[in-house]
């Protein structure tokens, strides 16, 4: 099931996305909270009549760096012995169709297409065999990065944590195996990144075990699983799209911060 979060007439709601043709999708409004028990109301609205919001409001976004060998190599890095983990703040999260604001302190903004894991239940020290029980679903993410700032500053809080640097969406797919999905990024329709989640050095299971060894994850928390090779520049006016097989396409435009 694909679950979107959206606003209509000033109200925020969750809905199940129905239909196959991008132009005729409808949302069946959900009664209750998607992570817990919920029902479909049967009240339907066309998706093109609503504004999509980030599909979840995470308490935290935990991101993993250098999880595809070819991307580590293109950045001149070794594959790390232990996964590199960092946070993106909740204020960095935007939804499909929202604008990425080019920050004033960077001259080298990059896209990073990533599979995002959405957590469904509060969990800590999750054993490998229980990982599937704590995952709600998957969505597309763009770990937008000020690459020049990342090189200059030893911690990545500013380079990867500025406002609008974490597009998520367009919705959460709850019924998919994340093990071998095509993942790509295009800029203005031109392909930049193309990889498969099977090339991840650490699997989704590995990452949930590793992160929850240290911290409690809450419903709605998000894990970004790293980006395949082919990262590259974004400029004001560009339209960047992240597509993951079986999930959908997350599109955002880059604007100058006003
Ligand atoms: Mg990344």
- For residue range 223-249, list pLDDT tens digits in order: 999 999 999 999 999 999 999 999 999
What is the reported pLDDT for 222? Answer: 98
Q: Report the separation in Å between the CA atom of 10 and the middle of ligand 1, taken as the mean of its atom positions.
A: 33
Q: From CA 158, how far away is CA 93, in angstroms rounded? A: 14
What are the φ/ψ torsions at residue 21 (nearest 5 degrees)? -80, 125
Q: Report the separation in Å between the CA atom of 225 and the middle of ligand 1, taken as the mean of its atom positions.
A: 7
Q: Report the separation in Å between the CA atom of 121 and the middle of ligand 1, taken as the mean of its atom positions.
A: 24
Q: Report the separation in Å between the CA atom of 62 and the middle of ligand 1, taken as the mean of its atom positions.
A: 10
Q: Report the separation in Å between the CA atom of 250 and the middle of ligand 1, taken as the mean of its atom positions.
A: 16
Q: Is 8 helix (H, G, I), strand (E, B) or coil?
A: strand
Place of tokens 């935990």: 62
What is the reported pLDDT for 156? Answer: 97
Q: From CA 140, how far away is CA 63, in angstroms rounded? A: 13
Q: From CA 171, how far away is CA 138, in angstroms rounded? A: 8
Please say whether the beta carbons of 252 and 239 come within 8 A: yes
What is the reported pLDDT for 142? Answer: 98
Choose which CATH entry (3.40.50.300, 3.40.50.2300, 3.20.20.10, 3.90.850.10) describes domain 61-256. Answer: 3.90.850.10
**Pick from 105, 114, 107: which is nearest to 65 by CA?**
114
Q: CA Rg, the chain, in Å?
A: 17
What is the reported pLDDT for 208? Answer: 98
What is the reported pLDDT for 78? Answer: 86
Place of tokens 């050095």: 201
pLDDT tens per residue across span 40-68: 999 999 999 999 999 999 999 999 999 99
What is the reported pLDDT for 33? Answer: 85
Q: Report the separation in Å between the CA atom of 141 and the middle of ligand 1, taken as the mean of its atom positions.
A: 9
What is the reported pLDDT for 132? Answer: 96
Q: In the chain, which stretches have pLDDT less than 50?
A: none
What is the reported pLDDT for 23? Answer: 84
Q: Report the separation in Å between the CA atom of 5 and the middle of ligand 1, taken as the mean of its atom positions.
A: 24
Q: Which residues of 19-30 are buried (b: 16+ CB within 10 A; e: fewer)?
A: eeeeeebebbbb
**Counting Cβ atoms within 10 Å, is residue 199 exposed (0-12), middle (13-18) or buried (19+)?**
middle
Report domain extents, the chain. 2-52, 61-256
Size of the chain, expressed as the number of residues it contains: 258
What is the reported pLDDT for 18? Answer: 96
Q: Which residues surround ligand 1, an ion (CB under 5 A)?
A: 112, 143, 227
Q: Report the separation in Å between the CA atom of 249 and the middle of ligand 1, taken as the mean of its atom positions.
A: 18
What is the reported pLDDT for 136? Answer: 97
What is the reported pLDDT for 21? Answer: 86
Q: Going by C-beta distance under 8 Å and a sequence separation of 6 or more, which residues neighbour residue 218?
A: 59, 60, 119, 122
Order of strands across the sheet with 239-244?
99-102, 248-256, 239-244, 182-187, 190-196
What is the reported pLDDT for 36? Answer: 79
CATH number of 2-52: 2.30.30.370
């Amino acid at each position: 099931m694909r679950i979107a979060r959206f606003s209509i007439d000033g109200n925020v709601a969750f809905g199940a996305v129905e239909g196959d043709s991008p132009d005729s999708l409808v949302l069946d409004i959900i009664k209750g909270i998607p992570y817990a028990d919920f029902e479909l109301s049967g009240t339907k609205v066309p998706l093109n009549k609503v504004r999509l919001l980030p599909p979840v409001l995470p308490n935290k976004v935990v991101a993993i760096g250098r999880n595809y060998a070819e991307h580590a190599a293109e950045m001149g890095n070794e594959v790390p012995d232990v996964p590199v983990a960092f946070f993106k703040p909740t204020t960095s999260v935007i939804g499909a169709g929202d604008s990425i604001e080019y920050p004033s302190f960077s001259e080298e903004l990059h896209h990073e297409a990533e599979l995002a894991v959405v957590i469904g239940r509060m969990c800590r020290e999750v054993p490998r065999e229980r990982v599937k029980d704590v995952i709600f679903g998957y969505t597309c993410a763009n770990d937008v990065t000020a690459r020049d700032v990342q090189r200059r500053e030893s911690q990545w809080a500013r380079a990867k944590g500025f406002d609008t640097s974490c597009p998520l969406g367009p919705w959460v797919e709850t019924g998919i195996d994340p093990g071998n999905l095509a993942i790509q990024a295009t800029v203005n329709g031109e392909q930049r990144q193309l990889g498969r989640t099977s090339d991840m050095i650490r699997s989704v299971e590995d990452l949930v075990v590793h992160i929850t060894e240290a911290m409690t994850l809450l419903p709605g928390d998000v894990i970004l699983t790293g980006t395949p090779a082919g990262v590259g520049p974004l400029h004001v006016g560009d339209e960047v799209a992240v597509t993951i097989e079986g999930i959908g396409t997350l599109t955002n435009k880059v604007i100058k911060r006003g």
